[in-house]
Chain A
Amino acid sequence: MMQRLTGAERQLALIISVLTLLSGLAMAAAGRADPLGIHGWIVVLFAGAVFLLTLGSIYDPEPREDRAVSYYDDPTKVGLILALGWAVVGMGMGVWVAAQLAWPDLRFDAAWSSFGRIRPVHTSGVIFGFGGNALIATSFHVMQRTSRARLAGHVSPWFVLLGFNLFCIIAASGYLMGVTQSKEYAEPEWYADIWLVIVWVVYFVLYIRTLARRNEPHIYVANWYYLAFILVVAVLHIVNNLAVPASLTGAKSYSAFSGVQDAMTQWWYGHNAVAFFLTAGFLGMLYYFLPKRAERPIYSYRLSILSFWGITFFYIWAGSHHLHYTALPQWVQTLGMTFSVMLLVPSWASAGNALMTLNGAWHKVRDDATLRFMMVAAVFYGLSTFEGSFMAVRAVNSLSHYTDWTVGHVHAGAMGWVALISFGSIYAVVPLLWQRETMYSWKLVEWHFWLALSGTVIYVFAMWNSGITQGLMWRTYTESGTLAYSFTDTLVAMHPYYVARAVGGALFLTGAVLALFNVVMTIRHAPEKRPERDYPTSSEATEPAVPAAE
């Protein structure tokens, strides 16, 4: 893989890894026994591994491939495998967390294995580790194809991918040591946040530079979604993580905001993490891979533009629905509620657009589990956005908030929509990238589909039941005006649903393990198939490309 970089690029990679290694050493020296110091050593190990890998091929001959005739897919390939690896780790942690709630003894009495520490390992592992790597990898794929241009750079995609994974490792290992700034989905401390800003800016510049090289006059709608994901996540991340470190030699920091402003900033961030990390980027995936797999153009391109702007402008305002019945001013709550209800329009426009694209190709959906993954993802996208708009209504929220209903809603989106569209896209793109005839085993894809679907349905139904039971028990009063149930009564009532939830999660995890196995076996054993390629056309030429055979 290193042999495809030029000598100068290998040197640049070497310099970057040395600089990262030195920063790691500085962190280790400053932090000593503090978690910051341990993180310093993790950075040293990571950067050292990259350094040795680069050094090993520094004197290899220059690459002889013609870069003008092919896309650069090596970072995409590595990114997809990393995504599946994180899926297994993150979902495995999720099953453990779920099992701890059903059987608390599974904590095994260690500090690092307590619920509060391994839950963020699960959430960050699946959202950032699995989702983030899948987004970065597919965005590299999609931006090149839709622009008909090679990636603008050969070192920067590696920096983005590996730098992002270093962030994920720092985050996950930090949680186990008890490092957190107590902001949901933004738990990592200041030094990890600064590192992510650097990585993210490089990612944005890479995307824009690749788009600038494009040979298609119109920027395809999937790119708009990916760009919104990159740009808005940068803004959210920077603002929500504004903090003052207690000391430069320790991990602890204090937020720049306090009180209700802090809560508002956090949920402005938190809900837009759902909007721009877990929705916009994955809609980019949907708008590229679903038409591609169905071999039909998107049903209405005009509608896709309309829903793009609808989603970007409405979502930004919706965060305050997380703070109904709090110290937040009533009108801000109402604003969030109203925009959440309005969001149903562009969300259903996207889901409907995807399903209408499949109209006329239902036989493909029946026969092809990969396309079925994408179809069911669109259905779950429609369902969970409807549920979300509904739950944001203040009166509904008074029943649902702080209950397992919220957990069920999030997982309908995360498992049913985000994970299924990612798995569908991965199955669509792996044979293409590794130039294989097909996936190693279509039966395993079929098994994965049904495991994932049944796991999601079991999970979501268990949490609906649990959440509504819990919500109703909390608000039931006796005739004398006291609460009818103690907190422990609600726990006893929820226990069977917690067991069901752990089972649903375990089915979903099994599917992810099958996916990783299937992808590895495809790379190692599936028969090769070289695609027939055309001669490239230069951007100045106006005539169409001539097939290679002539």
Chain B
Amino acid sequence: MTHELTSAIAKSFGLFYLLALSIGITVYAFWPSLGKRFDKAANSILDDEDGPCR
């Protein structure tokens, strides 16, 4: 593991896997059909004091 190798990996693979990750997460976060699930999750915490379910 030399300095050159580390820096080459960071400048090539490091760049692209981060780009791929950010695209993937953006697509997931804004996928239209997931809207209902997210709304349900956001509202689920407003009334949660009635105890666990099992």
Give me the interface of A with B, judged by CB distance under 8 Å. Answer: 68-71, 144-150, 213, 215-218, 220-222, 288, 291-292, 295-298, 301-303, 305-306, 309-310, 313, 329, 331, 335, 432, 531, 533-534, 536-539, 545
Contact = CB atoms under 8 A, between A and B. Distances in A.
B13 interface: no
B42 interface: yes
A335 B14 CA distance: 11
A68 B52 contact: yes
Contacts of A538: 53-54
B28 A213 contact: no
Interface in B5-32: 7, 10, 18, 21-22, 25-26, 28-30
Contacts of B51: 69-71, 533-534, 536
B21 to A, nearest CB: 6
Interface of B: 3, 7, 10, 18, 21-22, 25-26, 28-30, 35, 37-46, 48-54
**Which 4 pairs across A and B sit closest by C-beta, in order of nearness?**
A297-B42, A215-B53, A301-B38, A534-B50
B13 to A, nearest CB: 14
Contact of A305 (B3, B28, B39): B28
Contacts of A147: 52
Nearest to B3: A329
A150 B29 contact: no
B54 A149 contact: yes
11 contacts: A148-B48, A149-B52, A150-B54, A217-B37, A218-B41, A288-B45, A291-B46, A302-B35, A306-B25, A309-B22, A536-B53
Contacts of B44: 146, 216, 218, 220
Given A149-B53, A215-B54, A538-B54, A309 B25 contact: yes
B18 A313 contact: yes
Given A71-B52, A148-B52, A149-B54, A291 B45 contact: yes
Contacts of A301: 38-39, 41-42
Contacts of B40: 218
B46 A302 contact: no
A147 B41 CA distance: 11
B53 A432 contact: no
B41 A536 contact: no
Given A218-B41, A331-B7, A144 B26 contact: no
Contacts of B54: 68, 149-150, 213, 215, 536, 538-539
Contacts of B28: 305
Nearest to A532: B50
A310 B24 CA distance: 12
Nearest to B48: A145
Nearest to A213: B54
Contacts of B18: 313
Contacts of B10: 335
A510 B22 CA distance: 44
A147 B54 CA distance: 11
Nearest to A357: B42
Contacts of B7: 329, 331
A145 B49 CA distance: 7
B20 to A, nearest CB: 11
Given A70-B52, A146-B44, A539-B54, 10 more contacts: A144-B52, A149-B52, A149-B54, A218-B38, A306-B25, A310-B22, A313-B18, A329-B7, A536-B53, A538-B54
Nearest to A308: B25
A114 to B, nearest CB: 40
A306 B45 contact: no
A339 B50 CA distance: 43
A419 B25 CA distance: 31
Contacts of A150: 52, 54
